[in-house]
Amino acid sequence: MLTRIDHIGIACFDLDATVEFYRSTYGFEVFHSEINEEQGVREAMLKINETSDGGASYLQLLEPTREDSAVGTWLAKNGEGVHHIAFGTADVDADAADIREKGVRVLYDEPRTGSMGSRITFLHPKDCHGVLTELVTSRTEH
């Protein structure tokens, strides 16, 4: 069962400048940063708040480390902005299977490693009214 909005992914050309905007404008600080070589991104997670289920909600700022990454090609086509929305779940495998049975295309056969050691998969935007949707099980939940 989906329990919260885990994060909203925002694609950007300059991670440092985008982090500074969110810090100086809204007071959000970087909770975690990393480079995900598999996905070809450098990212910063800005914690917004805690949630009643023990998780948290974040903004995930994404800068491509290579032009051929999914975020790199998306930026080239669309420019900066909201890239995806992610819902938290205690069991990404079960929820992905349940959603697949409802006719929604799940992009990964097996969940992959995401930010902060999470397990993730994505749902096809054409099946989700134009929204790239991510399912996330936080490291603390698995």
Catalytic residues: 7, 43, 60, 84, 134
Q: What's at 14, amino acid-wise? A: D
d(CA 82, CA 63): 12
* 123 closest CA partner among 115, 110, 134, 112: 134
Amino acid present at 57: S
3-state SS class at 19: helix
The residue assigned the tokens 């900066």 is 80
